[in-house]
Amino acid sequence: MRQAEGVQRILVVEDDDAIAEPLARGLEREGYAVTRAATGREALDNTDVDLVLLDLGLPDIDGYEVCRRIRAKATTPIIVITARGDEVDRVVGLELGADDYVVKPFGYRELVARIRAVRRRIGATEPDAVQRVGTIAIDRRTRKVWSEETEVLLAPKEFDLLALLAEDAGAVISRQQILEQVWDPHWYGPTKTLDVHVAALRKKLGQPQLIETVRGVGFRLAVQP
């Protein structure tokens, strides 16, 4: 997606490529300019950004110390992302200057919502969040969708399903991944609900070929020229 002038810059401080790479790609699709840092030292050398996503488990400097040092010299919003979910860890992080605290594993859309909430609190504007896939346009900020310039009214889960597929258009997303990310991380209900929502989404978009079924695996959003 083309980045607009004044695009917001996010520093992702995470040493695990399996987490950092898809997170960076997703944020770039949201319209953000992303810089990555795998160590605390790299993070401290790249603080000229609009927001920092900070993992605490870094290989060189403890994440709490990185948070303290960033806060000592700048008011840049910091969202801590960590596997440390104890209340004392949250309290320490917030007292050191973090603006929010997200525990792994986290939902991608929840994280984006938290980023926007933090930036709203400081009065910042958000980037253009409209993504186009063929003749479909998805605005994540307003949760609106257009098909061939006609607005399509979607139920909340239908929008979440489409937005998830659009995060990596063309890639296959498994049924289990979709259920966990759109419905619940510990989904144990019937998987038929997914098929019902896919069918409804195809009908509302008026382009049933847009969402492809990959038998035995899941679904993907067809990449159209």
Average pLDDT over residues 74-86: 82
Q: Using CA atoms, how far apart are residues 150 and 148, in angstroms rounded to an integer?
A: 6
My answer on whether 23 and 52 are in the same domain is: yes
Mean pLDDT of the chain: 83
Strand partners, 146: 137, 151
pTM: 0.56
Domain boundary among 97, 121, 145: 121
Query: For residue 2, is pLDDT > 50?
Result: no
Domain boundary among 61, 91, 121: 121
Which residue would you say has higher pLDDT here, 93 or 189?
93
Instruction: Please give the tally of structural domains in the chain.
Output: 2
pLDDT (0 to 100) of residue 4: 37
- Buried b / exposed e along 14-37 (16+ C-beta atoms within 10 A): bbeeebbeebbebbebbbbebbbb
Asked if the structure places residue 1 within a domain, the reply is no
pLDDT (0 to 100) of residue 54: 94
Query: For residue 96, is pLDDT > 60?
Result: yes
Highest mean pLDDT among 42-46, 104-108, 190-194, 205-209: 42-46
Asked if the structure places residue 4 within a domain, the reply is no
Q: Which domain holds residue 141?
A: 130-221
Asked if the structure places residue 15 within a domain, the reply is yes
Asked if the structure places residue 105 within a domain, the reply is yes
Domain boundary among 121, 146, 164: 121
Q: Using CA atoms, how far apart are residues 218 and 176, in angstroms rounded to an integer?
A: 8
My answer on whether 71 and 134 are in the same domain is: no
Asked if the structure places residue 28 within a domain, the reply is yes
Which residue would you say has higher pLDDT here, 198 or 164?
198
Residues 6+ apart with CB under 8 A from 150: none
Over residues 15-67, the pLDDT tens digits come to: 999 889 888 888 887 778 899 999 999 999 998 899 999 998 899 998 889 99
My answer on whether 171 and 82 are in the same domain is: no
Model confidence at 153, in pLDDT bands (50, 70, 90)? very high
Average pLDDT over residues 82-91: 71
CB 36 within 8 A of CB 24: yes
60: domain CATH number is 3.40.50.2300
Q: Would you call 216 helix, strand, or coil by DSSP?
A: coil
Put residue 146 in one of left, alpha, beta given phi > 0 → left and psi -120 to 50 → alpha: beta
Q: Using CA atoms, how far apart are residues 180 and 136, in angstroms rounded to an integer?
A: 25
